[in-house]
Structure 1
Amino acid sequence: MFNSVTLEVAIGVVAVFILVSIICAAVREGIESWLKTRAAYLEQGIREILNDREGIGLAKHIYEHPLIFGLFPGGYAPGTDIKRPSIFAKGNDLPSYIPSRNFAVALMDIAARGPATDAVSSDPNSPVISLETLRSNVMNLDNQFVQRALLSAIDSAQGSLDQAQANIEKWYDSTMDRVSGWYKRSTQYIIFFIGLFVAVVLNVNTITIADYLYRNDAERAALASWAESKSKQSPDAVLSGYSAAKDDLQALNLPIGLELVSVRNDKGEYDPFKFVALAFGWLLTAFAATLGAPFWFDVLNKLMVVRSTVKPHEKSPEEGSEDRQQKKNNGVLQVLPGGRQEQQPRALHVHNEPTPMNIRDAESDVDGCDVAIVDITSDDQLPPAEGGVA
């Protein structure tokens, strides 16, 4: 079981992980706002769901539909990656998010009225979107894979247009789940390298920090107290703010900074073991950053719960009951040959009480006095009588 020292060291390390994760996430968002990689991954997902790898067919019609075109400035330009965007792919001005309802209605509108936005498709007398219209005009999609998917959505709708739209939305959402997985993995790769860069530049070494906290009681207690105050705040207040996280990390009295990096021993010679430990500590910090600040904030709260149960137990150990203390003291210390002492149980003093004798006199049944006789005095033991009749 962890003691309070180990718990406070773990709390301090987790607090550092939270701050580093916030810094890395902020840097990642800055890169994302410049590259718009999320939009590139979304565009790739749209091309895959519509079986339009090059983005010159139905995917282009979807992005140029008024329900989608209004979500981003400029025109649609398909990405250059055919299979999957790179981790630093640029999304240009494409939208980073398309609601499933917009996609479903745009697809049904293209199937019912055609892909072009002109006077015919915009005329009030144009075909109304219905299950019959969708089925009869499904060839407007000019994509056999999507045509079959749309017919399946219509057939399973059981005559309800709303259900057909819901089926298309679920189809779209299932593909977007895959896109989210792609983007999440690419984000973890990027954050790992960002975390490694931050760990090296600021010398945030997990092993060094843990060893420092273990050896310095005052700094360990101060950092644990700071982490406890943060755990009582809302996650939004703690996990937001690059500047605040950077200031907190620098304000903590921890062994961070490149000026503290040394790979030489006491003799001034190069020590490969120190270099390995240094690199391993940096890698641990970078890996911790990939898990994200919300994950470490949840771990911090759990450690605080454990600390609240361990700390009072160490401050106020359980005392034995009075009966145990009496049993412990109920003995005599005996000195044996050789100076060895041994505690012997005390002898119990037993008071011998006279045992009543159940003797009845001859007149007990007459006068109703059934009295137990304790001692019987014989006639020889009686004192001689004085006076009386001569």
Structure 2
Amino acid sequence: MIGLLSAYIDLALGLVLAFLLLSLLVSGLNEAIVRLLAIRSKFLWAYLRDTLDDDAPKGRSWLPSGLREVFAALPFARDPRPEHESRPAPAVPAAVPAGAPAGADGFTGLLYERVREIDHPTRGRTSIADLPPGRFSMAMMELAASEPGGVEGLLEKLRATGSPLYGHLQGVWESAQRDLDRFRQGVERWFDSEMQRLSMLYKRYVKWVLALLALVVTLLFTVDGLEYGKTLLRDNAYRATVTAVTEAGPDAYSELKAQCEQSDPVPCVTETLSQPALVKVLDNAIVSMAVPAEGEPSFHWNGGAWWDRLTTPSHWPGFLLTYVALLFGAPFWWDVLRRITGIRSRR
């Protein structure tokens, strides 16, 4: 009974560990794509342009609502970010011109002027991908201080230029009963709620990217979850056989020799135990890696065997199991692994 329970625990740990590692690979690929294309930064500044200026070309939103438009336009076609500026913000904020957008970038440019101290050294466009609500509210207060009429003067300029931000700030100003400190706190709370809404929208789009990457990883590595489970159980049974032979003495050597009839049993056992089930499953990838006992690791093109495995219908249920498992994400599988092993979180 104890041996059977141990086999099932090994099976659970093996499956969870495999799904965790593959999920981490999916997350790593997603993060690499996001950083390479600066998706987070473009997402933030597209929202800010829609909110502050509404100056999208041809009347379109800078932040498209359609999934196809987001993946086609935002990463490649249109870059809503302001030009990067390495100098610190001027001590006196630029005044907002009346009746026309403030400069080439409108209010978005004025906002970037006040927050560019947190920008990272880069070329071309800004790399700011997260704007703290407190910094945004202080930037609004600094812009209001540059107006003769203070907050009301800024609101009047926003209304005159047709900025969508006018309605939001006007409501916050009236709710604060024209108190500057309460107005600053209200702007901070409003922007914080907007950032939460934007984060939810961003995650909704990213989940489609993760789903596509999970499919690519599953097919490239051709990880059959069902076959992997059988391999784990088979390895466990093989190790139990080796242990039993060791304890039984020379009389049981003939059984082990029968299992390794093509070679000497001792090297056969050593090679089998040094190749766990996870390594064997990853050998089915389109490019496999071999790590010999001596020498450097080598990579091998495995295209023919990979294609045969991919087009074999008996593997498709296992591929589907792996794909669905990867959709749960690395945090889920890490939590499952932590619960099984008893690892406690620091939080």
Instruction: Please give the range of the TM-score, normalised by the shorter of the 2 chains.
Output: 0.5 to 0.7
Deviation, structure 1 residue 253:
4.0
In the alignment, structure 1 segments of 5+ residues that lack a partner are: 77-91, 115-126, 222-248, 265-271, 307-390
Contact 1:12 1:220 in 2 (8 A): no
Q: In the alignment, what sits opposite 2:14? A: 12
Distance 1:263 1:6 in 2: 31
Alignment deviations for residues 64-121 of structure 1 (CA, whole Å, 9 cap, x no partner): 4422234256899xxxxxxxxxxxxxxx54421112122222233334425xxxxxxx
Contact 1:21 1:292 in 2 (8 A): yes
Distance 1:110 1:219 in 2: 73
Alignment deviations for residues 348-372 of structure 1 (CA, whole Å, 9 cap, x no partner): xxxxxxxxxxxxxxxxxxxxxxxxx
Deviation, structure 1 residue 277:
4.1
Pairing partner for 2:174 from 155, 162, 174:
155
Distance 1:171 1:48, change over 3 A: farther
Residue 288 in structure 1 maps to residue 345 in structure 2: no
Q: In the alignment, what sits opposite 2:236? A: 217
Which has more radius of gyration?
Answer: 1
Contact 2:54 2:164 in 1 (8 A): no
Residue 201 in structure 1 maps to residue 231 in structure 2: no
Q: Percent identity?
A: 27
Contact 1:72 1:95 in 2 (8 A): yes
Distance 1:145 1:198, change over 3 A: closer
SS at 1:95 equivalent: coil
Contact 1:18 1:296 in 2 (8 A): yes
Pairing partner for 1:173 from 173, 192, 197:
192
SS at 1:52 equivalent: coil
Q: CA RMSD in A?
A: 3.6
Distance 2:162 2:141 in 1: 13
Distance 2:121 2:214 in 1: 33
Contact 2:53 2:106 in 1 (8 A): no
Alignment deviations for residues 317-372 of structure 1 (CA, whole Å, 9 cap, x no partner): xxxxxxxxxxxxxxxxxxxxxxxxxxxxxxxxxxxxxxxxxxxxxxxxxxxxxxxx
Q: In the alignment, what sits opposite 1:105? A: 138
Amino acid at match of 1:32: V
User: TM (normalized to structure 1)?
Assistant: 0.52
Q: In the alignment, what sits opposite 1:369? A: none
SS at 2:282 equivalent: coil
User: TM (normalized to structure 2)?
Assistant: 0.58
Kindly indicate which of the two structures has a greater share of residues assigned to helix.
2
Distance 1:62 1:201, change over 3 A: same
Distance 2:329 2:172 in 1: 39
Distance 2:320 2:114 in 1: 46
Give aligned pairs, total.
239
Q: In the alignment, what sits opposite 1:279? A: 316
Distance 1:104 1:49, change over 3 A: same
Pairing partner for 2:107 from 52, 56, 61:
61
Q: In the alignment, what sits opposite 2:97? A: none
Contact 2:26 2:214 in 1 (8 A): yes
Deviation, structure 1 residue 13:
0.7
